[in-house]
């Protein structure tokens, strides 16, 4: 335990919560969670050689299916921190309907997340879509929901949910990831609190796991996670929090 605390300190990882999984030191540590050779190969193929601090701590937490509030600066590698555990858990395409939703405040960021998913999905064959205007009608009309992961902005997703009848079913969603939490929960018109609330509510599978990533630990972000995340673990990278 002492060794782990020293390791966390070295990488400026602060954690709060109960029964926190140990961080990984390298991507090869993922073998102990039976992460597939395909995923490990895709890490190498994308020149992800060593995990960043947020990845060291967030990946084992999400692999063990804990709910998480993760705060780490822009550019610190938050995207892979949720992509890798999601691909690990979803494993292969299934036709049970949508199994993971990632919400991002802007289209540009949603596209970036989608591209990183696609690169890491090589050889896995999961069906991953980004909800663009052009694709909205295809996604809404695909009665059998032949896709596994959807990356979307709050407005476009809520637009589908609020059609009568809803153009999208989220009851099969096992993972809801909220990215850029500080932007999503911004006060006033800039924020997406109502939209996130509608999405959260539509994901009504009792087995669902929620996770929230943010560049800063804004008050809104912390409040939301206290109210909505179950037995939450909080990670802060970098600046020490009071
Ligand atoms: P954040 O979401 O925290 O702002 P990103 O996930 O967008 O950061 O990552 C920033 C950049 O770092 C991206 O170009 C990404 O591909 C790269 N990156 C992420 N993790 C690693 C890693 N372990 N090794 C090398 N590059 C990485
Ligand atoms: Mg990001």
The verdict on the CB of residue 76 being under 6 Å from ligand 1 is yes
Q: 78 CA distance to ligand 1 centroid (A)?
A: 7
Question: Which atom of ligand 1 lies closest to the CA of 73?
Answer: 3
- CB-CB contact of 98 with 129 (8 Å): no
- CB-CB contact of 70 with 18 (8 Å): no
- Token pair, residue 200, equals 């959260």
Q: 44 CA distance to ligand 1 centroid (A)?
A: 14
Instruction: Please state the ipTM of this predicted complex.
Output: 0.99
Which pLDDT tens digits describe the chain residue by residue (242 residues)? 899 999 999 999 999 999 999 999 999 999 999 999 999 999 999 999 999 999 999 999 999 999 999 999 999 999 999 999 999 999 998 988 899 999 999 999 999 999 999 999 999 999 999 997 767 777 776 655 678 999 999 999 999 999 988 889 999 999 999 999 999 999 888 889 999 999 999 999 999 999 999 999 999 999 999 999 999 999 999 965 43
Residue nearest to atom 2 of ligand 1 (CA): 78
CA–CA separation, 43 vs 45, rounded Å? 5
Q: Please report which helix (H) or strand (E) contains residue 53, including its range.
A: helix 53-63
Residue nearest to atom 19 of ligand 1 (CA): 77
The verdict on the CB of residue 78 being under 6 Å from ligand 1 is yes
CA–CA separation, 204 vs 197, rounded Å? 12
Specify the pTM.
0.96
Q: 156 CA distance to ligand 1 centroid (A)?
A: 26
CA–CA separation, 187 vs 50, rounded Å? 37
């Amino acid at each position: 335990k002492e060794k782990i605390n020293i390791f966390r300190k070295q990488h400026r990882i602060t954690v709060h919560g109960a029964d926190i999984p140990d961080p990984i030191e390298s991507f090869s540590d993922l073998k102990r969670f039976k992460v597939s050779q395909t995923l490990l190969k895709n890490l190498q193929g994308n020149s992800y050689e060593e995990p960043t601090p947020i990845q060291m701590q967030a990946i084992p937490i999400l692999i063990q299916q804990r709910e998480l509030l993760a705060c780490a600066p822009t550019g610190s590698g938050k995207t892979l921190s949720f992509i890798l555990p999601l691909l690990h858990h979803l494993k292969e395409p299934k036709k049970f309907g949508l199994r993971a939703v990632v919400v991002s405040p802007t289209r540009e960021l949603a596209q970036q997340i989608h591209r990183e998913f696609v690169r890491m999905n090589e050889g896995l064959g999961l069906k991953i879509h980004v909800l663009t205007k052009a694709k909205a009608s295809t996604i809404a009309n695909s009665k059998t929901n032949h896709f596994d992961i959807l990356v979307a902005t709050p407005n476009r997703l809520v637009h589908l949910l609020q059609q009568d009848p809803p153009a999208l079913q989220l009851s099969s969603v096992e993972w809801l990831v909220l990215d850029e939490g500080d932007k999503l929960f911004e006060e006033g018109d800039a924020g997406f609190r109502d939209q996130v609330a509608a999405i959260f509510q539509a994901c009504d599978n009792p087995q669902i796991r929620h996770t929230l990533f943010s560049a800063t630990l804004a008050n809104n972000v912390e409040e939301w996670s206290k109210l909505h995340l179950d037995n939450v673990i909080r990670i802060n990278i970098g600046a020490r929090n009071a």
